[in-house]
């Protein structure tokens, strides 16, 4: 078991900069998500850590030992591939045994370890099956057992749940997390699914165009995004753009929005504010007034989407459509076309410096 | 309904006709190898004399053994070299790879007569001359492109993540090849080997150019025998070869469904 340090890693393919000076510290035993849209460099970064590809510059260390020029077969990592990559000619048990067998472990040791790994992923009785006789979720578990049976220093997962349907994916998320806790292995997990990143990981690194946009615990990134991209890629956000006032921003129409979290931007500079849809209160204006200092805007409901436990209102305001999510508390629902007042606290408003 | 039935019968008739076209000459030849008359005269009179006299024909038997030996050695050499070449072409990027790949196919299209002439001239030029060694070299050269084509086609269906997965588990290049890649391409290797065997065992043109009277293969010997005067011994040896090669083919097809998943 070991931590992983990535320091100033760059990698280009021709003119395309797949990774541009990326540095992340993955602490020992943590569960990390690398999140980003396709082409953001997240898979390239994972392949550098695995050793399938070497960086043009920068340093990669596993457990304090520099490995950036060590080929994958000598790095002692475990990897789970997007399509599982199980060996079709081998049984489940032989698949899991592969890593121990190429190392020349004794037959008895291999049998014990394979059984233990299969038990851990709850496939103890299926060792004799061939991969094509398994369901998607079972293949996933075999791939995981195969990756951890060799006791690797770090576990790398490349969109491992991408091929599963929604219900199974949620089951596997819980399962994966349980197994990771049980063996306490440093885990780095590539995904483009923000929900998966939020629910599973201790820390998230958001990548875009080969650069690390923001890195930190999920709560921190969600509550205090440092860029419009981070705000809108991880969760939903309403973005207002204007000039910084020192305590918020002033919109082009003169409205001021107070913000008490986020970056400090010198007055007069371009800046934006991000507000999460569930932090906004929506009312017809006739109810009791908001606490002093709350941000307030008026608009008109253009659309309502009912989702059972909550409703999403789309509110038009000065050419901008704002999104508001309201929990289903049994309160009166607002009709489309109705004029409304939106209010939210400065504490729910994140100030972001213009890029 | 009636139309369907008629079409069904037409279909059946067509298949029977097609199989008859393919097998009738062979069946007649096999039957005649058991007929007493050396001039294909009927009525049919059962005999195994031709098989007995075949046993006495040292020249024909020597040529048969030559053919079998050369075919087996050709199969082994061209399958190993060809599979290695396919793997190299699949795995590595190098200068001139495209040219090399393109140049692998034309030899299949060049008439054997011309290849044979060229080989004869070349082997004389370099001092190998004619004989079994020359025939073997010629057959390997003819068989190699077939093996590479068949094995490469199989490799196209291989998922490169499998090699990556094996490497991530600590396998070195040799272990990856022997335990992951080779098992996957095996049906292709076997099919390529069958091609190589057939190209060598059936080979007449190139063998004819490269053989000497003492050192010859079965097809060349049969041709020579027919020119001297036809004997039903030829029917007998041909029948044996057909039975053995069909059995081999069926056996292989039974174990490997070519192209598909096992």
The predicted-structure confidence for B89-126, as pLDDT tens digits, reads as follows 988 888 888 888 888 888 888 888 898 899 999 998 88
Locate the chain A residue with the closest alpha carbon to B175. A102
Q: Is residue B73 part of a domain?
A: yes
Q: Would the pLDDT of B232 be above 80?
A: no
Element (H, E) at B97: helix B97-103
- The total of other beta-carbon atoms located within 10 Å of residue B83's CB is 25
Domain containing residue B218: 51-255
Q: Would the pLDDT of A286 be above 70?
A: no
**Cα torsion A45, A138, A132, A166: sign:** negative
Based on C-alpha coordinates, what's the Rg of chain B?
23
pLDDT tens digits, residue range A102-127? 999 999 999 999 999 999 888 888 88
Locate the chain A residue with the closest alpha carbon to B183. A89
pLDDT tens digits, residue range A57-71? 999 999 989 998 999
CA A284 to chain centre: 36
Specify the pLDDT at position A136. 86
User: Please, which residues bridge with residue A115 across strands?
Assistant: none
- A79 Cα to chain B: minimum distance (Å): 6
Asked if A73 and B165 come within 8 Å (Cβ–Cβ), the reply is: no
Residue among A165, A117, A160 at smallest CA distance from A140? A160
CATH assignment of the domain containing B193: 1.10.3720.10
Tell me the CB-side half-sphere exposure of residue A137, using CA atoms within 13 A. 15
Asked if A150 and B170 come within 8 Å (Cβ–Cβ), the reply is: yes
- List the domain boundaries for chain A: 4-223, 236-353
Q: Is residue B39 part of a domain?
A: no
Query: Taking a C-beta distance cutoff of 8 angstroms, is the pair A340, A316 a contact?
Result: no
Asked if A87 and B262 come within 8 Å (Cβ–Cβ), the reply is: no
How much is the pTM?
Answer: 0.79
HEC letters along A91-110: CHHHHHHHHHHHCCCCHHHH
Low-confidence winner among B67-81, B101-115, B243-257 (lowest mean pLDDT): B243-257
Q: Is B35 left (phi over 0), alpha (psi -120 to 50) or beta?
A: beta
Q: What is the CATH number of domain A236-353?
A: 2.40.50.100
Q: Would the pLDDT of B257 be above 60?
A: no
Number of domains observed in the structure of chain B: 1
User: How far is it, in rounded angstroms, from Cα B86 to Cα A89?
Assistant: 20
Specify the pLDDT at position B112. 87
Q: Is residue B15 part of a domain?
A: no
Report which DSSP code applies to B194.
Answer: H
Fold classified for A4-223:
Rossmann fold (3.40.50)
Burial zone of B4 (CB within 10 Å; 0-12 exposed, 13-18 middle, 19+ buried): exposed
- Which one of A52, A76, A86 has the shortest CB-CB distance to B164? A52
């Amino acid at each position: 078991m070991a931590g992983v340090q990535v320091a100033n890693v760059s990698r280009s393919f021709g003119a395309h900069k797949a990774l541009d000076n990326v540095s992340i510290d993955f602490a020992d035993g943590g569960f990390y998500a690398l999140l980003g849209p396709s082409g953001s460099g997240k898979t390239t970064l994972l392949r550098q850590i695995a050793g399938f590809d070497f960086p043009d510059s920068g340093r990669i260390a596993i457990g304090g030992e520099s490995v950036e020029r060590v080929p994958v077969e000598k790095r002692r990592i475990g990897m789970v591939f997007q399509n599982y990559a199980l060996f079709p000619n081998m049984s489940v048990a032989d698949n899991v045994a592969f890593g121990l067998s190429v190392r020349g472990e004794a037959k008895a040791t291999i049998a014990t370890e394979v059984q233990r790994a299969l038990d851990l992923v709850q496939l103890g009785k299926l060792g004799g099956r061939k991969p094509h006789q398994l369901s998607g979720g079972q293949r996933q578990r075999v791939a995981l057992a195969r990756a951890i049976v060799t006791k690797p220093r770090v576990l790398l997962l490349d969109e491992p749940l991408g091929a599963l349907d929604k219900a199974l994916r949620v089951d596997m998320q819980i399962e994966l997390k349980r197994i990771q806790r049980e063996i306490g292995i440093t885990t780095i997990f590539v995904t483009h699914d923000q929900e998966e990143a939020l629910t599973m990981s201790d820390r998230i690194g958001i990548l875009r165009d080969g650069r690390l946009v923001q890195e930190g615990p999920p709560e921190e990134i969600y509550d205090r995004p440092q860029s419009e991209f981070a705000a809108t890629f991880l969760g939903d956000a309403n973005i207002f753009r204007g000039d910084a006032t020192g305590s918020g921003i002033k919109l082009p129409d003169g409205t001021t929005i107070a913000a008490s979290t986020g970056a400090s931007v010198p007055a007069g500079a371009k800046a934006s504010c991000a507000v999460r849809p569930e932090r906004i209160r929506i009312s017809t204006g006739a109810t009791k007034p908001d606490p002093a200092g709350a941000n307030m805007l008026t608009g008109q409901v253009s659309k309502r989407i009912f989702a059972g436990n909550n409703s999403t209102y789309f509110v038009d305001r000065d050419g901008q459509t704002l999104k508001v999510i309201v929990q289903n508390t049994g309160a009166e629902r607002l009709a489309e076309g109705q004029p409304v007042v939106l209010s939210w606290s400065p504490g729910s408003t994140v100030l972001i410096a213009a890029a | 309904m009636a139309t369907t039935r008629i079409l069904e019968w037409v279909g059946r008739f067509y298949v029977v006709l097609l199989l008859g076209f393919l097998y009738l000459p062979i069946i007649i030849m096999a039957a005649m190898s058991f007929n007493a008359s050396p001039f294909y005269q009927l009525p049919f009179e059962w005999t195994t004399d031709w098989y007995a006299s075949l046993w006495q024909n040292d020249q024909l038997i020597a040529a048969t053994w030559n053919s079998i030996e050369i075919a087996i050695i050709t199969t082994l050499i061209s399958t190993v070299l060809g599979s290695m070449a396919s793997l190299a072409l699949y795995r590595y990027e190098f200068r001139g790879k495209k040219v090399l790949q393109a140049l692998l196919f034309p030899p299949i299209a060049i008439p054997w007569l011309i290849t044979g002439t060229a080989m004869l001239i070349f082997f004389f030029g370099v001092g190998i001359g004619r004989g079994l060694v020359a025939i073997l070299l010629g057959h390997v050269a003819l068989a190699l492109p077939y093996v590479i084509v068949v094995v490469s086609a199989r490799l196209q269906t291989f998922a490169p993540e499998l090699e990556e997965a094996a490497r991530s588990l600590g396998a070195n290049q040799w272990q990856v090849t022997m335990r992951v890649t080779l098992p996957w391409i095996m049906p292709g290797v076997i099919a390529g080997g069958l091609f190589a065997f057939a190209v060598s065992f059936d080979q007449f043109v190139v063998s004819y150019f490269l053989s000497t009277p003492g050192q010859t293969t079965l097809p060349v010997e049969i041709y020579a025998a027919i020119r001297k005067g036809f004997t039903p011994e030829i029917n007998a040896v041909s029948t044996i070869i057909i039975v053995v090669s069909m059995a081999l083919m069926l056996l292989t097809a039974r174990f490997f469904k070519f192209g598909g998943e096992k």
